[in-house]
Amino acid sequence: MTVSPTDSGAYPPGTAAPVPTRGAAGSAAPPVLTGRRSPVNAAPSPGVPAGQPVDMATLWTTSFPGWVRAPRSVPREFGGGRQVELVWLTAASLRPGCPLVSVSSADGGVGRSTLVAALGGLLALACPQPVLAVDLTGRAWGGLADRVGRRNGASVWDAASDVDRLTSRQAVERLVQHGPTGLHTLVGEREMTSRRRPPSGDEMTRLVARLQKLYPLALLDLPPADTKFAWTALTWGSAPVLVARATQDSLRHSMRLVAQLRAVGLGAMADHVVLVVMETSARVPGEVKAAERQARGVVGEVVRVPYDRNLARPDPVDPRRLRGATRGALVDVAAAVLRLCPADPQAAATVVDPPGTWPNVFQGEESG
């Protein structure tokens, strides 16, 4: 009897899978994960699950943890390589308990919503289960609605005002918008009336607590960290992300924010901050690069996202249509975020191939 590796619940709870070791064929990545260079003018690849049959006896013998899913195939636009493979394997093996990716900034207008849509779109390609993004900016304009697209009139207000009925993922899905790669998104409320409005801080806090139980991974689009709500919400996330423009002032303000986190006893969180620097032009001044180097010794990781005209337009973001350098930077951001999340990428690797044939991507070597 065989089952598809994408069937939910196919992997019974048990001990961790054997650690992959390098075998004779260890220098080549399994074809189920390896992407290929896309032809000119090719439509975006779907990144759908691999669908190769797996022997049920093998599944039970290996005793995969119950939360591990078969990894999705890597869209050809992202190619191969150790970093891409680890992102896809980690995304397929996130442990229970939703890791909150809390995205904020020291300034406004730095591209937070753009990053949330782009990063969330990439993670939606990598994760076998749905990924959720939530607009918690409290604004009645802009935000995720422009960067994801809107197909119905529901918003985060509908979810917050009916939170007690959100007892399943299906109940949430009737309210979400779907991005180009399938990212589930609760967009901001655009009306400011007696009947509809952006949720209050307490309402958003209660909503996030409910959603955290329903989704394996969620991204929170927060306002700048100069409000009590944003400051508090940053502490929810196992993966705090700060966004800055590629300017001296924006980087300086971000470092002041990190210093404030340390000053109020949140040094452990500051150590894990992923600082994402968004380029606003094709040329980055030398002083900005110098400020980045200084930041690397202060926060967990620093990733610069190159200028991309596809990100500069107020249109829905499809990571597969971005420039190669931009896609690579988003993979780096995803890797930095997922490193802060509990997962079993080695177990996910074993779902794809026997341990002896899996490339040595867990030992710091490139897999080609």
- pLDDT tens sequence across 216-267: 999 999 999 988 899 889 988 889 999 999 999 999 999 999 999 999 999 9
Residue 289 has pLDDT above 60, yes or no: yes
Q: Domains of the chain: which residue ranges?
A: 9-26+51-98+344-368, 104-338
- Is 104-338 a CATH 3.30.70.270 domain? no
Residue 202 has pLDDT above 90, yes or no: yes
State the Cα angle at 98 between 243 and 60, rounded to 5°: 130
**Which pLDDT band, with edges at 50, 70 and 90, does 349 fall under?**
confident
- 8 Å CB contact between 183 and 131: yes
Q: What is the mean pLDDT of residues 104-130?
A: 96
Q: What is the mean pLDDT of residues 319-329?
A: 97
Nearest partner of 190 among 179, 207, 177, judged by Cα: 177
What gap in Å lies between CA 95 and CA 110, rounded to an integer? 32
Q: What is the mean pLDDT of residues 102-118?
A: 96
Residues near 272 by beta carbon (within 8 Å), at least 6 away in sequence: 239, 240, 300, 340
DSSP H helices, 11-111, are 56-62, 82-91
